[in-house]
A and B are shown apart, each in its own frame.
Chain A
Amino acid sequence: MRCTVTGFLFALATATAQGQRTPEGKPDFSGMYDIASLTPLVRPAQFGTRLEMTDAEAEALAKKVAATVAADSRASDPDRKAPAAGGDIGSYNQLWFDRGTQATRIGGKWRTSILTDPPDGRLPELTPEGKAIAARNALRNRTPGEPFWIKENLKPGPFDDPELRPLTERCLGTFGTSAGPPMLPAGYNNLKQIVQTKDRILILNEMIHDVRIVRMNAEHDPPDMRRWFGDSVGRWEGDTLVVDTTNFNDTPGLFSASRNLHIVERFTRIDANTLSYKFTVEDPTVWTRPWSGEVVWPRTTQRLYEYACHEGNYSFMGILKGARLLETEALRKTPE
C-alpha cells in the first residue's frame, strides 16, 4: 500500500518536473517560446572543432554583445553627415534587434554553434549545383552603389523582378532559418507559439506571421503539391515529436536549398519550461552531405503581437524603384 502511494507520488512529482501532458498522454508543448540565442548556426573560427565553450568564453560573448547593444543604443548625432554614396549604410538601430543575451546552453554546457554535424560546426561542402545557386543568391545581397548588373551583363540582373528577390524582402516568408524548417534563432522576432491538439501541431512563427500546421500521423502530399515552406507531417516516437518536411517549391528560403530539401525536426522536453529542438537537413542537390544541429526553446511569458509585413512593405517598392533609378542614371552617363 505504502509502496503504491510512494510510487504514485513519485510519478506525480516526475510529471510536474517534466511538465504537463495532454489528455492523450503526450507531452504538452503548447505555449509561447522565445528562442533568441547568441550561439550562431556556424561555429566561429576561434572555437576550432570545439562544440562547447567555457563559462569564461560564454561570459565574454555575452559581455561583448551587451557592450555593442549599449554603444549602439546611444542617441544618434543629429549633425552626422550622410554616408558616402555607394557606401555601407549599416543596418537597423539596436532598438529593432533582439538577439538574446546569452549563448545556448545544453546539459549545462555552452554551445559554440547550433551545428552539431558536421563535427567541425560548419555547413557541408556544396555540390557544383549548390555552388551555382549560392553564387546566384549572393548577387541578391550585393549592395548596389552602382548597377553592377549592367556592367557585368547579368541576365537577369538580381534586381530585375520581384520574383528574384529574397522571400523576406517580399514579405512572402521570413528568413529561411527563422520560419524554417529548421526554425532557428534570428536577430529579432524570435517568438514561436505552439498550439497542440490530438491531430495537429501548429507552430506560429512571429516573424512575417508564418503559420505552420503539422498534420499528425498523416501522409505527405503528392509530389506535385509544393509549398514555400514545405509540407510537414508529424508522429510521436515515445515522448519525442518528430516532424518530417518535404514538398518544397523550387527555391525555398533556406540558404541555397532546392526542391529536394528534406528536413526532420525532433522536439523533446528537457524540463517543464524548455524544449530541445534538433534537426537534420538534407538536400543532395545542394549539399554533399546532411547537416544537423540543436537549439533549445525556452518558454516565455511574453506576448506575441501582430506582424503585418506586406501591408507596410514600402521598402520593397524602394528597392525596385532604386534599381531602376540606378539604371537610368547609368544610361544617362554613357549614352548608347
Chain B
Amino acid sequence: MTRLLLTGGLLLSLPDVSAQVRLPRLPNGRPDFNGVWQAASSAHFDIERHMARHSLMLRDGPHGPLPAQQTLALGAVGAVPGGMGIVEGGRIPYKPEALKLRDENRQHWIERDPEVKCYLPGIPRANYMPFPFEIMQNATQFFFAYEYAGAHRDVLFKDPGPAETDSWMGQAVGKWEGDTLVIENTGFNGQTWFDRAGNHHSSQLKVVERLKLMTPYHIQYEATITDPEVFTGPWKIALPLYRRMEKDARIMDFRCVEFVEELIYGEHRRNPLKR
C-alpha cells in the first residue's frame, strides 16, 4: 500500500529507469549480468568522503600536510582526487582503537597496503578498484574474473556452511531475491583492506552484497558490512558499476606479481640495482 502511494510520487520526481528499460535476461529469466564492468569513482583511494589531498601518503609540512618522502616523486600523479565517498553517512563507524589503527595505516600506507605488494584484494575492494572485471553468468554459475592480480570469485548457490578455511577473497554464497543477486561473503583472512586510505577490518568481516541490474549499462551495487571486532555496528556502501562499452571489451592480463618483484626481491639480485 505504502509502495503504491510512493510509486506515484517517485515517478514524478525520480524516474525509475529500470521500469522503462528492457533488461537483458538469460533464457531462465534472470537478469543477464554477463559483460565487463568497472566502477567510476575515487572509492579505491578512500571509501569515505574526502577532499583531494597532496598524496597517497603524507607527512607534516611547515604549512600543513605534504607528500611523504616515498611518494614525493610522483607529483600530481600521486595526489588523491576528492570524492563524496561510497559509505552511507560518509564515515565508517570504527571502534576507537580501530580508528587509531586506520590512521596509523594511512601514515604507513606504502608499507602496509596489500595492493602495493599485489596481494589479492578481497571483497568489497575488488569491485571498485580502477580495473575492469568480467562477470560470467549462466543458468547455474555466477563468476567474477577481476583484471587486478587475476583475482576471481565463484558464487556458490548451495550454501556449504561456514568457510572451511580463511582466504583473501572469502567464501561467496549467493541467492536471488527477485532480480537482485544477494551474495554473502565470509571466511576472510583479515589481511585485506577497503581502499588506499588504510581502512581495514578483521577476519570477522562479513559482506552482504546486493547487485541489481538497473539498465543494460549499469549495476547498482550495495554492500552491508559487519565486523564486531572493528566496527561499532553494521554500515553500508553503495555505488554504481558501469558496463565497459568498448567493442570487444574484455579484461586484460594484470599479473602484477611480476611488477612487484623488484620491490620485494630486488635487493636479493646478484647485482642489485641502486636503490
A residues at B contact (CB < 8 Å): 22-23, 28, 30, 156-157, 159-163, 170-173, 193, 195-200, 202, 204, 209-211, 213, 215, 218, 227-228, 303-306, 308, 310-311, 316-317, 320-321, 323-324, 327
Given known pairs A159-B270, A170-B261, A316-B265, the reply for A204 and B152 (CB within 8 Å) is yes
Instruction: Tell me the dominant secondary structure on chain B's binding face.
Output: loop
Q: Is the CB of B141 within 8 A of A317?
A: no
Question: B34, A199: Cβ atoms under 8 Å?
Answer: yes
A211 touches B152 (CB 8 A): yes
Q: Is the CB of A305 within 8 A of B143?
A: no
Contact between B167 and A308, CB atoms less than 8 A apart: yes
Contact A317 to B138, CB < 8 A, known contacts A171-B257, A209-B152, A213-B145: no
Q: How far is the CB of A183 from chain B (nearest CB, A)?
A: 16
Instruction: List 11 A-B residue pairs with CB atoms under 8 Å apart, sorted by A's residue number.
Output: A30-B140, A161-B270, A162-B262, A172-B257, A193-B154, A202-B136, A210-B150, A306-B168, A311-B119, A324-B270, A327-B270
Tell me the complex Cα distance, A170–B151, Å.
17
- Interface residue? B39 (CB, 8 A): no
The stretch of B40-48, B176-184, B246-254 in contact with A is B246-254
- How far, in whole Å, are A303 and B171 apart by their CA atoms in the complex? 11
Report the interface size class on chain B.
35 or more
Task: Assess whether B261 is in contact with A305, with CB atoms less than 8 Å apart.
Answer: no
Q: In B223-243, which residues have CB < 8 Å from any A CB?
A: none
Q: Are B167 and A197 touching (Cβ within 8 A)?
A: no
Chain B: minimal CB distance from A314 (Å):
11
A-contact bits for B132-159, CB 8 A (1 contact / 0 none): 0010111111010100001110100000
The distance in angstroms between the C-alpha atoms of A316 and B268, with both chains bound, is 10
Q: Is the CB of A161 within 8 A of B154?
A: no
For residue B271, CB closer than 8 A to chain A, the reply is yes
Given contacts A200-B136, A311-B119, contact A228 B253 (CB under 8 A): yes
Residues of B within 8 A of A320 (CB): 265, 268-269
Q: Is the CB of A306 within 8 A of B167?
A: yes
Chain B residues with CB under 8 A of A198: 34
**Interfacial residues, chain B to chain A (CB-CB below 8 A):** 26-28, 34, 118-120, 134, 136-141, 143, 145, 150-152, 154, 160, 164-165, 167-169, 191, 248, 250-251, 253, 255, 257-258, 261-262, 264-266, 268-271
Contacts of A228 in B (CB 8 A): 253, 255
| Bound Cα distance A230, B255 (Å) | 13
Residue B138 contacts which of A22, A218, A308 (CB distance < 8 angstroms)?
A22
Q: Known pairs A30-B141, A193-B154. 20 more at Cβ < 8 A?
A: A23-B139, A157-B270, A162-B265, A162-B266, A172-B255, A173-B255, A197-B138, A198-B34, A200-B34, A200-B134, A202-B136, A209-B152, A213-B250, A227-B253, A305-B164, A306-B167, A311-B119, A311-B120, A311-B168, A324-B268
- Who on chain A is nearest to B261 by CB? A162
The answer on a CB contact under 8 Å between B269 and A197 is no
CB distance from B145 to the nearest CB of A (A): 5
Closest to B153 in A: A306
Contact residues in A for B191 (Cβ distance below 8 Å): 311
When distances are taken between beta carbons in the complex, the residues of chain A under 8 Å from B34 are 197-200
**Shortest distance from the beta carbon of B169 to any chain A beta carbon, whole Å:** 6
Ordered nearest first, which 6 A-B pairs have the shortest CB separation? Answer: A306-B167, A320-B268, A23-B27, A160-B270, A162-B261, A195-B136
| Cβ contact within 8 Å between A323 and B270 | yes
Assembly CA distance A323 to B265 (angstroms): 13
- When distances are taken between beta carbons in the complex, the residues of chain B under 8 Å from A28 are 138
CA distance A171 to B120 in the complex (A): 13
Given A162-B261, A170-B258, A199-B34, answer yes or no on A310-B119 (Cβ-Cβ < 8 Å): yes
Q: How far is the CA of A308 from the CA of B204 in the complex (A)?
A: 20
Q: Which residues of B contact A30 (CB under 8 A)?
A: 138, 140-141
Q: A195-B138, A196-B138, A211-B145 are in contact. Are A172 and B258 (CB under 8 A)?
A: yes
B-chain residues with CB within 8 Å of residue A195 when the two chains form the complex: 136, 138, 141, 143, 154
Q: Which residues of chain B are near A204, meaning CB under 8 Å?
A: 143, 152, 154
Cα(A324)–Cα(B268), bound, Å: 7
For the complex, what is the distance from the CA of A227 to the CA of B270, rounded to whole Å? 27
Chain A residues in 8 Å Cβ range of B160 = 303
Instruction: For the complex formed, measure the closest distance between the CB of B123 and the CB atoms of chain A, giving whole angstroms.
Output: 12
* A24 CB to nearest B CB, Å: 9
A310 contacts B138, CB within 8 Å? Answer: no
CB distance from A249 to the nearest CB of B (A): 10
Give Cα A156 to B271, complex, Å.
Answer: 10
In the complex, what residue of chain A is closest to B167 when comparing beta carbons? A306
- Bound Cα distance A28, B139 (Å): 11
Is there an interface contact between B250 and A202, defined as CB atoms closer than 8 Å? no
